[in-house]
Each structure stands twice: as C-alpha cells, then as structure tokens.
Amino acid sequence: MNGEIRPFAGQPLRAGFPRGALLEKALRAILLALFLCSAAAWAAVHLGALPDKDSGQIGAAVVLLATATTVAAAACRAPLQNVLLAAAVIALIGGGVQMLGAATGIPFGAITYTDAAGPRLFNLLPWPMPLVWVVLVLNARGVARLILRPWRKTRTYGFRVIGLACLLAGLFDLGLEPFACKVNRFWVWQTSASTPVWYGAPWVNFMAWLLTTLLILAFATPALINKKPVKHPPQYHPLIVWLALNGLFATAAAAHQLWWAAGLIVIGNLVVTVFAFRGARW
C-alpha cells in the first residue's frame, strides 16, 4: 500500500464543506434574524410597547435589513453579481416610475409624500421606495416560484411565475397602503370624493403596481435566471420575509382599528402560505 486514500467502491470522494459556504450561510441567517427582530420591534412600536419616537429609526432599519436579507437569499440561486444587477434594475425602474407618479400623478394617481417617509431623492421620492421595490419584486418572485414548484418543468413556467408575482405585488400593496397612508402618514392621496378608494388609495394605483411589476420583471428576470440550472430544495426565505412584512402591516392595522385591512392581510397571508407549502412538497 502506498498510503493513498481511496474511496469505497462505487462511492465518489467528496471534498469537505467549504468554509466560504459556511460563512455565507451564517451571514444569511444573521441578516434574516436581524430583519425579523427589526420588524417585530416596529410592530411593538405600533402596539405601544416601544416609544413612538423610535419609529423612524426602526422603520429605516426594517427597509435596509429587508433589502440585505432579500439580496443575500437570492444569491443562493444566481450569481451575486447577477442579483445585484437585477436589484439595480428593479430600483431604477420602480423608483423611476414612482418619481414620475410623484411629479405628474401618472400612473398611480395624485400623491404627496410627507416628511415622515424620509429624505427625498431629487426632491421627489422618499429614499426607501426604490428599496421597497427590490424587496417586493424579489420576494414576490420567490414566493411565486415556491407556489408554482409543481409546474417548474413546464414550458410556460417562467410566464406563470411572472404573472403570479405581479398578482402578489398587488396583494402586497393592499396591505402597504393602509400601513403607509393611514397609520404612518408617509403619503397622502389626493382623490376626489367620487373616486373608489382603499384607505385613501385609488384603485388605479393597484393596477399600476401590477403593471410596474410586470415591466420590472421583463427587464430583471434574465439576470436572475441561472444559466447552469441545478436542482435546489424549496427556498422558504422569500415566504418568511413576505409573511413578516405583511404581519407587520396587519398588526399596525389592527392596532389602529383598521379591521378590513387587517382581515384582508391575514386572509391573504393564509392563502399564500397554504399554496406555498403545497407547492414546496413537490
């Protein structure tokens, strides 16, 4: 024997688990934990358990940590540079469309942002909004992929994911509007008395969110497609972020007695969760 270590017959020799991969997993876990803690803290502010004066700093932390954990999780499925490119595309298109909306009222409707939303980019759009689009689009796409996992080998799978992600974006905005408009006063809608509204937001706003998400995914999806696809286990991270944010919206709505909003968010979360776990079993 020459001392060479050989694998057993029929068993390939496997390398040890890379230290870099361990660090990446640890970083993703830390970012997710910090995000969940910040979301819980913001919910506590709305429930009166933490001082309201801390709301601005905690809200900023929620947006930044949600973005960081979302990008880190997306990098599990695609190269990091691709994910960063997609995030930049999402932020530019989403923020650009909302800047247009702030200046002209098209396509979302006439809206005025308040100082509570934070400093404004180009004196038009609060800085968190492009990041909100990154969090929304990447997690809506991730949840859609989880729900549609049984159909991942069909030819129309990609189109189904885009369509469902757009619907999920509209559902997300149904919870965001009462939270941002009525609870935190981040913006004010300027609508006539005859215009159908949802807690101040005109219904055209929700159609605009769907169409904007469709436009974003048309440009961002190519960067997110893995050119060397491998089979991955179900990724629950987008669902966790999705449920945490909507849980925050529902908690704030209930704390301010916006019962229709709270009920719709809870029902929507339950439906999304049931279909996501059903899809993940395949």
Give the tens place of pLDDT for each residue, 127-163. 999 999 999 999 999 999 999 999 988 999 999 999 9
Q: How confident is the model at residue 242 (pLDDT cuts 50, 70, 90)?
A: very high
The residue assigned the tokens 């969760």 is 273
Q: How confident is the model at residue 231 (pLDDT cuts 50, 70, 90)?
A: low
Q: Is residue 172 part of a domain?
A: yes
Burial of 104 (0-12, 13-18, 19+ CB in 10 A): exposed
Give the tens place of pLDDT for each residue, 199-225. 999 999 999 999 999 999 999 999 998
* CB-based contact 92:122 (threshold 8 Å): no
* CA 42 – CA 54 distance, rounded (Å): 9
> Residue 187: what residue type?
W
Q: What is the pLDDT of residue 15?
A: 39
Q: Is residue 274 part of a domain?
A: yes
Q: Is residue 164 part of a domain?
A: yes
Q: Which two tokens stand for residue 119?
A: 């400093």
Q: Is residue 62 part of a domain?
A: no
Q: What is the pLDDT of residue 107?
A: 95
Nearest-5° Cα angle at 126, 88 to 59: 95
* pLDDT more than 70, % of the chain: 91
Burial of 73 (0-12, 13-18, 19+ CB in 10 A): buried
Average pLDDT for the chain = 91
Distances in whole angstroms, Cα of residue 198 to Cα of each of 133, 173, 248: 20, 10, 18
Q: Is residue 247 part of a domain?
A: yes
Pairing state between β 187-189 and 201-202: unpaired
* CB-based contact 272:168 (threshold 8 Å): yes
Mean pLDDT within 172-201 = 94
Q: What is the pLDDT of residue 228?
A: 65
* CA 53 – CA 271 distance, rounded (Å): 35
Q: Is residue 126 part of a domain?
A: yes
Find residue 185's DSSP bridge partners: none
Mean pLDDT within 244-251 = 98
- The SS3 of residue 187 is strand
- The SS3 of residue 201 is strand
Using the predicted structure, report yes or no on whether residue 18 has a pLDDT greater than 80: no
Q: Is residue 143 part of a domain?
A: yes
For 63, other C-beta atoms within 10 Å of its C-beta total 19
Q: Which two tokens stand for residue 180?
A: 């941002």
Using the predicted structure, report yes or no on whether residue 40 has a pLDDT greater than 50: yes
Q: What is the pLDDT of residue 24?
A: 85
Which domain, by its residues, includes 266? 88-224+233-280
Mean pLDDT within 63-82 = 95
Using the predicted structure, report yes or no on whether residue 14 has a pLDDT greater than 80: no
Q: What is the pLDDT of residue 7?
A: 46
The total number of structural domains in the chain stands at 1
Q: What is the pLDDT of residue 20?
A: 62
Using the predicted structure, report yes or no on whether residue 26 has a pLDDT greater than 50: yes
pTM of this prediction? Answer: 0.90
- The per-residue DSSP string of 22-79 comes to HHHHHHHHHHHHHHHHHHHHHHHHHHTSS-GGGHHHHHHHHHHHHHHHHHHHHTTTS-
Q: What is the pLDDT of residue 226?
A: 75
DSSP-derived letter for residue 228 is S
Q: Is residue 119 part of a domain?
A: yes
Mean pLDDT within 76-95 = 95
Q: How confident is the model at residue 279 (pLDDT cuts 50, 70, 90)?
A: very high
Give the HSE-up count for residue 238: Cα atoms under 13 Å, Cβ half-sphere: 27
